[in-house]
Structure 1
Amino acid sequence: MELSDYIRILRKNWIVIAIIVLVGIGAAAVYSLTRTPLYQSSSEIIVSTQSGSTSTELTQGNTYTQARVNSWVQLASSPKVLDPVIADLGLDTIASELAKRVAVSSPLNTTVVQTTVTDSDPARAADIANAVATSLASAIDEVETLPDAPSPVKVTPISTALPAATASSPNVPLNLALGALVGLALGVAFAVLRTVLDTRIRTSRDVIALTDRPIIGAIPFDAKADERPLIVQADPLNPRSEAFRALRTNLQFLDLEGGHSFVITSSIPGEGKSTTAVNLALALADSGKRVVLIDGDLRKPKVADYLGIEGGVGLTDVLIGRAELTDVLQRWGRRSLYILPAGKVPPNPSELLGSKRMRELLEVFHQDADIVILDAPPLLPVTDAALLAKSTSGAIVVAAAGSTHRGQLAGALDALETVSARVAGIVLSRVPTRGPDAYDYGYGYGYGYGYGAEEAQAAPAARRSTAAEAPAEPVRRRSNAIPPPRDPSV
């Protein structure tokens, strides 16, 4: 992953990271508050030679004491030193336990012995440190004294331990800082792991990493999409409307063979394929194209409900020969848009959509219409869309950002390739307009918001006026499947 990916991960998961950091700080605070405060006091002694008068003898004596200082450090933690301390202070412990609270050290190249005692009582810590220094001085004098000769070393106290004013442990600021750092590390690790394990498609980069099929459209997320599915009709200046017009433009630049008919499908239900099909058809019709929208979802048809037309008779009836195409094909509004609803739900949708009659019907529409749009069922549950895509110019697969999993999209594309159907492109729906993934939405959407109040009201009216005055585009007619457009002024 690149640096931008990590930045996006942090932006996307900053709330979780912040919570984990706060938990780390809280855990450190609880730990600090539940620990018994400990105090440290230190005393120091220096061991020097007391024999010799010349510089050579003094140097030899200093070398001797430095060589012996490590032995005296070890001696300070022995029962020989600590037992007298326990007896003098009346401590309720033994030498081995007291030794755990006594730290004895000597700075490098010196003969200074420092004794540091840690205890929950600051006064007692000071008393023990001073007592250990005194006992150690006596022990050193005893072990260094030779038979029938005085001790060659001299022990001199150089600092006396005093009760500490503040506790040395727990170090609350340090513990809180460590808790924050640990929480931050865990939070970032969780965010990265969560992103790596997340198989949902969120940006165009996820699609590019999965397939070489082009992304021909990105439809922004709209919280009110269910309330106004026909956004191109309801609000032409909405960013979603502009996104469908951009999709319309991209379709016109696709180099496809075999006419211009497209199956709109998805991998699973609920990704927005039907609303994409309807709004794309409206956008194409607004550009002056003669468009046929076929509801090829013979299992859960929605086109008739979205457009508010009668859908009881339609494609099913034509395929089984119960109705003529001219009787069920409906023109919608004043656009050159013709709707073929699904009709009744049949018991054998796949057989009907893959029949010879269906292929002949598509050939008729290819002759009479500029563009044919088919709303088809999802690819993973059923094979209907794959059968239809094989008879058209290509399939447009809709994938919902943040919902569709990479495996689902890959399975849908594999289903199309299995029947040798062409994938015209991928459309990302529900692309977020805010947040770390919003950069994938691109620019250019929302220019309509630059209108003034009067211009915003006038723009739709101007479009309707232009559409009413413009003559209908001539059609290369070889059959009577699509009736000629009526005069919009009638």
Structure 2
Amino acid sequence: MELREYLSILRKSWVLVVVFAILGLGAGAGASLLATPEYQSRTQLYVSVRSDGGTSSELVQGANYSRQIVNSYVAVVKTSVVLDPVVEQLQLDMTGAELATYVSAASPADSALINITASSPSSEQAALIANAVGESFQEVVRTQLEPETESGASPVSLTTTQNALVPSAPVSPNVLINLALGLLVGLAVGYGIAILRTVLDRRIHSAQDIEQITDKPILGRIIDDPDVEKNRLIVNSMPNSPRAESFRALRTNLQFLNGGSKGRVFVITSPSPSEGKTTTSLNLAFTLAQTGSRVALVEGDLRLPTFAQYLGIEGGAGLTDVLIGRAGLDDVLQRWGQNEFFVLPAGRIPPNPSELLGSAEMEKTLQTLREQFDYVIIDAPPALAVTDAAVLGKMAAGLLVVVAASSTTKQELEGALQSLETAGTDVLGLVATMVPSKKPDGYSYGYGYGRAVTTDAVDSSPGNEQSQATVDQALRGAHAK
């Protein structure tokens, strides 16, 4: 993915990222509150070698020797010979070996200093342990490691240069660091989940998603309407709305397509149900009629007819009756509205819809409609559910496949296009429905009706400008034919 895509993911999922960032801050604060405070105190010893003479060479040799033995002394500090007396002296509830985990010793490079650090949940106890370990170590060196010589003095002398003090603040937990780490981890987890969701999301969200599957142009982008169930024919009830304008844009693109010998007979289908194909068929046919053209809208979905309910017309007789010879075409065609807009409902549900739609009577019916009307729009069943769309597509100039944004999956679109191609039909283009009226990254385009309208992309994902150019080129090519 490109940088723009990562930024787009962040814009779309910023709430998720913020939620996890807050959770990370809470986790960091909780860890700080629940953690046992740890205090550290340090004492410092200086190692020197006694020299009977006072010449400069002897002093240098003594200093070099003290630096050499310091590293060995550091290892001795955490041994039981040093720590057992400390446990007994301070009456600690642990062994010398256990105390060793709370004591550390180190020597700065090229020095004769030994730093002894003690850790404890109690600040006073940390100081007591550090001082006690320093004293015990001095005694061990004097009596066991470097015992007194005949002169009555140990050749190595350890001097306390800094006593351990009671610390005023714990070294852990570090609240600021815990909060910062919690915030960073929360941001990383939230953004990671957002990226994972995007990668695993197989739904179609953008023109780029469609371009990954097919090179067919996107002929229209229909703005989403949450009240579509109450207002199917919006180009009639709300002609100045942005959604109605998007149907008119689809009409304009469709007018560039040349049907060839099969005339302007177009089948509209979708991969799966509930993707807006019937609503698209109704509004597209009505907008074509508004230009003065004679338009016939045919309900080719004989399995689940809905025109009678949506348009308030008689649905007891229709296409089924024409195909079985029970009624004439003129008897069941119903004019709707003031324009030259005629509707052919499905009629009664037959037991063999595929056979009826693929019959010679259906070809004759379409031929008659082709001769009498400028446009014939056929609303077909979903392509993946049954073969009816492919059967009707062979008799038409081509098909328009409806794709619902954020609903249709890539696999469904790919499967539908493959099945239609296998059947030998011509898919002229796609129609994106349920497109948000405002793109996720905040850009929108107005038509002067007082509301924002998105016309150039399914959403704001990268590649939409290229997709629009592809549409325009395809339409010009089709018009040239």
| TM-score, normalization by structure 2 | 0.89
How far off is 1:92 after superposition? 2.3
Deviations 1:93-118 (A, max 9, x none): 21100000011111122121111111
The aligned amino acid for 1:356 is A
Q: Deviations over 1:193-239 (max 9, x none)?
A: 11111111111111111111111111111112111111101111111
Alignment of 1:420-439 (within 5 A): 420-434=424-438, 436=440
1:312 and 1:269 map into 2 onto residues whose CA distance is 23
Q: CA RMSD in A?
A: 1.9
Partner residue of 1:311?
A: 315
Q: Shift of residue 50 of structure 1?
A: 3.0
Normalising by the residue count of structure 1, what TM-score does the alignment of the two structures yield? 0.87
Instruction: Summarize deviations over 1:41-62 as a string: whole Å, max 9, x none.
Output: 1111111233253333333222
Alignment of 1:19-98 (within 5 A): 19-51=19-51, 53-98=54-99
Matches of 1:287 and 1:145 in 2, distance apart? 114
Paired amino acid for 1:431:
V
Deviates more, 1:264-273 or 1:252-261: 252-261
Looking at structure 1, the residues matched to 435 and 93 of structure 2 have their Cα atoms a distance apart, in angstroms, of 72
Quote how far apart the aligned CAs of 1:368 are: 2.1
Question: Does the Cα contact within 8 Å between 2:25 and 2:186 map onto a contact in 1?
Answer: yes
Q: Cα distance, 1:191 vs. partner?
A: 1.1
User: Are 2:15 and 1:11 aligned?
Assistant: no
Structure 2 unaligned spans of 5+: 453-481
Q: Distance in 2 between matches of 1:14 and 1:338?
A: 49
Does the 8 Å CA contact 2:32/2:173 hold for their aligned counterparts?
yes
Stretches of structure 1 that go unaligned for 5 or more consecutive residues are 452-490
CA contact (8 A) 1:38 1:118 kept: yes
Give the counterpart letter for 2:10 in structure 1. Answer: L
CA contact (8 A) 1:202 1:437 kept: no
Aligned counterpart for 1:144 among listed residues 143, 146, 153? 146
Structure 2 match to 1:174: 177
Task: Decide whether the 8 Å contact of 1:83 with 1:95 is kept in 2.
Answer: yes
Q: Return the alpha-carbon distance in structure 1 between the equivalents of residues 59 and 159 of structure 2.
A: 17
Does the 8 A contact of 2:42 with 2:118 survive in 1?
A: yes
Q: Is the 8 A contact 1:203 1:437 kept in 2?
A: no
1:111-147 CA-partner distances (Å, limit 9, x unpaired): 2111111111111110111111112222233413475
- What's 2:231 paired with? 228
Spell out the pairing of 1:191-202 with structure 2 (5 A cutoff): 191-202=194-205
The structure 1 residue matched to 2:371, chosen from 367, 386, 398, is: 367
- Indicate the residue corresponding to 2:222 in structure 1: 219
Q: Is the contact between residue 262 and residue 396 of structure 1 (CA under 8 Å) also seen in structure 2? A: yes
Cα pair distance change 1:234/1:436, threshold 3 Å: same
> Any residues of structure 2 matched to 1:203-352 within 5 Å, and which?
203-257=206-260, 258-352=262-356
Q: Describe the shift of the 1:11–1:223 C-alpha distance in structure 2 as closer, same or farther (beyond 3 A).
A: same
Secondary structure in 2 matching 1:224: coil
For residues 445 and 356 of structure 1, the distance between their equivalents in structure 2, rounded to whole angstroms, comes to: 48
Contact 2:258–2:264 (CA under 8 A) maintained in structure 1? no
More displaced, 163-172 or 346-355? 163-172
Alpha-carbon offset, residue 392 of structure 1: 0.5
Aligned pairs for 1:463-482 (under 5 A) are none
How far apart in 1 are the matches of 2:369 and 2:195?
51
Q: Give the match for residue 125 of structure 1.
A: 126
Q: In 2, Cα distance between the equivalents of 1:322 and 1:182?
A: 72
- Residue 300 of structure 1 and its aligned partner are, at CA, apart by 1.0
